Chain A
Amino acid sequence: MSEALSVVAHPALEVQGVTKRFGDVLANEDVDFRIERGRVHALLGENGAGKSTLVNIIFGLYQADSGEVRRNGEVVHLNGPRDAIDSRIGMVHQHFQLVPVLTVAENVVLGDEPTRRGVVDLDEAASVVRGLAERFGLDIDPWVRVEDLPIGLQQRVEILRALYREVDILILDEPTAVLTPQETGHLLEVLRGLADTGVAVLFITHKLREVMAVADEITVMRRGRVVGHTVPADTDESDLASMMVGRPVELRLKRTPASPGEKMLTVVDLVVNDDRQTQALNGINLDVCAGEVVGVAGVEGNGQRELVEAVTGLRDVISGSVILDGEEIAGRSPRQISTMGVAHIPEDREKFGLIGAHTVADNMVLNRYHHRPYSRHGIRRPAAVDDEATRLVEEFDVRPPNIAAMVATLSGGNKQKVVAAREFSHESKVMIAAQPTRGIDIGNIEFIHRRLIEYRDAGMAILLVSAELDEVLGLADRVAVIYGGRIVAFESVDGMDRDRVGRLMLSGTDG
């Protein structure tokens, strides 16, 4: 297959033998890579595999230490985004580069405005935007301010901006990370359409499903090197995952059906306000039984955070009740609730789950330092803390296995293992796991998923809140969909499929 491609005279872009080093870290090592016109090329790899470095070299943000970049067969030296844009390479960054207070049309033409007698011609800009939108199926109102648009449409503005500059290579860095399933589906269609008009699309991701759905070609990177190049017809998701991680990976957890016991956590008519004191939860009802995983699916910002914080005592309950194994816990302090048997993996490990400047050992006992044997009469006992930390580091395979290291020096996945180790290590009845695998590597995701199921089977009641639909559908025994502060569906996972949950997440109904 790849031999057939190589007969095309000059690829749109070719990277040959590129090596890039940051200090001691070899970010890219002898990378060979090419993008063809009219094709969607997926660049796949875990965090730190070197994808971003490679793309930044292509976009001129970094200069390679050695090797060369060819554009249509000619060696080019790009010294920054300006050169890249002049060379008709466009990039949609993970964090949008838009001016929120300007309109769609203004954002699109910014830096290259159509003028009439020295004044920016906004009508012209708007009609250009309309033309582009029509041509590429990116329907949008050019007069709306960008800050008033949902994320999916903001991304559309970014793409239009690149198209306005008539790029023939479009790079998208993790474009689906912020999108709902429906928005993702639409984006993939748009990318397909762009490729059909002859644009070379380079699509960076770690989501295997999307790669299989849209890519014409797939390049996999691991530890700075290209470790594989294939096409969807010759591979499948678990092959790709193994290539990314470098060992066989279990993508779909094999799990036995749950054998739920008694109700452990019951939420009744719960009303909670958000930080701006407007109602975030409008009377939610939910229950989790021992030995079962209940997954809460929803687009972020629909009340998930408030739900988790209310259950763990971090947020005031306006009305309603939260019952843990028969006892009311609404109104109690976070510490009381934790002691009564609610463990909590917070959604943002850096901000809420860990103290970066503390050691691994101190973080392992962050919620138990005041119990024996970690302290006695208010005096800490470092030896006991170290013993426990050593045990947990081993059990949860935290790397490097150094309990004296500052947590801030660990990778994201290992940080999350520290949080998980701490929260699983004390005998809890209920585990609240919020976004437990966000931003971590496949290998660590697999590890944490397996732990969740193990503890479920041991009788723990698990409330899983996740923006990853696959995670919810793969782990949960029952699924609750949250929309606008209400639970719009709560039933067995057997009756839930991606489409239906996606519709519920987006509109609150599945009609």
Chain B
Amino acid sequence: MRMLKPVAIPLIAVGLALGIGAIILVVSGANPIEAYGALIDGSLSSQKTIGRTLEKATPLIMGGLAVAFAFRAGLFNIGGQGQLVVGGIFSAAVGFGFEGLPWIIHAPMALAVGALAGAAWGSIAGILKATRGAHEVITTIMLNFVALNLTDWLASHSWKDEGILSRTPAVEESAVIPLWGSFPTGFLVAVAASIACWYLLERTNLGFEIRSVGLNGDAARYAGISVQRIVIATMAISGLLAGAGGAIETQGVVGRYEPGFNAGLGFNGITIALLARNHPLGVIPAALLIGAMEAGGSMMQFNADVAPEITDIIEALMLLFVATPIVVRWFFSRQEVAEVSVTAGWGSP
């Protein structure tokens, strides 16, 4: 039972959210069974829809990992969106900027450059925190605006495609992260990144340092760990993950960088990390769930005549219940209530 608890709270939260969602559906005059049926139809019924779910889930995994990873060092990275668009446009630049490279070099290179651009963007906030004490929540939010305007400008000036649209040229065929049948290869990259994050956190010295700083920065410093170094490294890795998410989206889904194509993808990372309770492997099912809802949302709108906002409401409810475990705790027996620790902050285990 003890082991089940971390899983139980998100599961109950999801169940509650779907239940209340059903009530809202009834109130709005729709049939919830039909609506949820359509949701599943649109996300899980065929190879094609499953492929779409995985495609939607991929950047969510990366964005969720970025937030969850930073949180393990006690850092709240709100800058996933900025790191993601920076990663996206740099991978696009490498993607359209080189011709005649073999796929095996070009695609990974574009992905790597995008990831590194995200890492650089993320580490700005890390450096500001480590050297000047600037709070990462403030700096990452501000850097989001800088990143959005910077990428908009690049897409409409230096790296602009021919024509009237503000967007970069399409990436070369050799830089595309392809579909394998209807299965998006980028999803494998995201899963590999989750496993790598888990390994890094649980099995390496760097991960031990990151977790130590996150749990008790004073004691970590007394034990000789350089907290500044860890803050910078963590923000860089967090940005790397978000940047790679932007690169995969560019190379695997959109095929170029187009301002606005990925609005909100980085922010969804916060939702995912919260649902996953900051566990790097928990990010995968959390992203699949939200990915399925996004993939199936349009089918629900089309088949059951439900406003697409209903999926947003259900997502928001899930968040609410995960973030306020008191409601969920009510579902545990009274004896266990005493055992569940009061959360210190959002998503703290």
Contacts and interface: CB of A to CB of B under 8 A. Distances in A.
Q: Does A associate with B in a complex?
A: yes
Interface of A: 23, 312, 314, 333-335, 338-339, 344, 346, 351-358, 362, 366-367, 369-370, 375, 378-380
Contact of B222 (A344, A369, A375): A344
Interface centre among B206, B219, B221, B225 (most CB of A within 10 A): B219
B340 interface: no
Given A335-B226, A369-B208, A380-B204, A355 B220 contact: yes
B219 A355 contact: yes
Interface string B169-211: 0000000000000000000000000000000000111111001
Interface residues of B, number: 20
A406 to B, nearest CB: 10
B219 A351 contact: yes
A338 B206 CA distance: 19
Nearest to A353: B219
Contacts of B218: 351-352
A379 B201 CA distance: 10
Contact of A355 (B204, B207, B215, B226): B215
A355 B224 contact: no
11 contacts: A312-B222, A314-B221, A335-B224, A351-B218, A355-B215, A357-B215, A357-B216, A367-B223, A369-B205, A370-B205, A380-B207
Contact of A380 (B205, B212, B221): B205
B220 to A, nearest CB: 7
A338 B224 contact: yes
> Chain B at the A interface: mostly helix, strand, loop or mixed?
helix
Contacts of B221: 314, 334
Contact of A356 (B207, B215, B222, B223): B215
A344 B212 CA distance: 18
A392 to B, nearest CB: 16
A427 B80 CA distance: 45
Contacts, number: 61
The 6 tightest CB contacts between A and B, nearest first, are: A335-B224, A366-B223, A352-B222, A355-B216, A367-B223, A357-B215
A420 B338 CA distance: 32
Given A334-B224, A338-B224, A367-B224, A362 B208 contact: yes
A208 B79 CA distance: 58
Contacts of B212: 355, 358, 366
A356 B224 contact: no
Contacts of B223: 334, 366-367
B204 A366 contact: no
Interface of B: 203-208, 211-212, 215-216, 218-226, 338
Contacts of A380: 203-205, 207-208
Contacts of B211: 358
Nearest to B335: A23
A353 B226 CA distance: 15
Contacts of A346: 222
Contacts of A312: 222
B2 to A, nearest CB: 12
Given A353-B219, A366-B212, A378 B206 contact: yes
A305 B203 CA distance: 35
A314 B222 contact: yes
Nearest to B222: A352
B204 A378 contact: yes
Interface centre among B207, B215, B220 (most CB of A within 10 A): B215
B335 to A, nearest CB: 10
Given A358-B212, A379-B203, A380-B204, A366 B219 contact: yes
A77 B225 CA distance: 55
A367 B221 CA distance: 10
B259 to A, nearest CB: 40
Nearest to B216: A355
A356 B216 contact: yes
A335 B220 CA distance: 11
Contacts of A353: 219, 222
B207 to A, nearest CB: 8
Contacts of A369: 205, 208
A261 B4 CA distance: 58
Nearest to A385: B208
Given A334-B224, A335-B226, A380-B203, A354 B219 contact: yes
A333 B226 contact: yes
Contacts of B206: 378
A338 B226 CA distance: 13
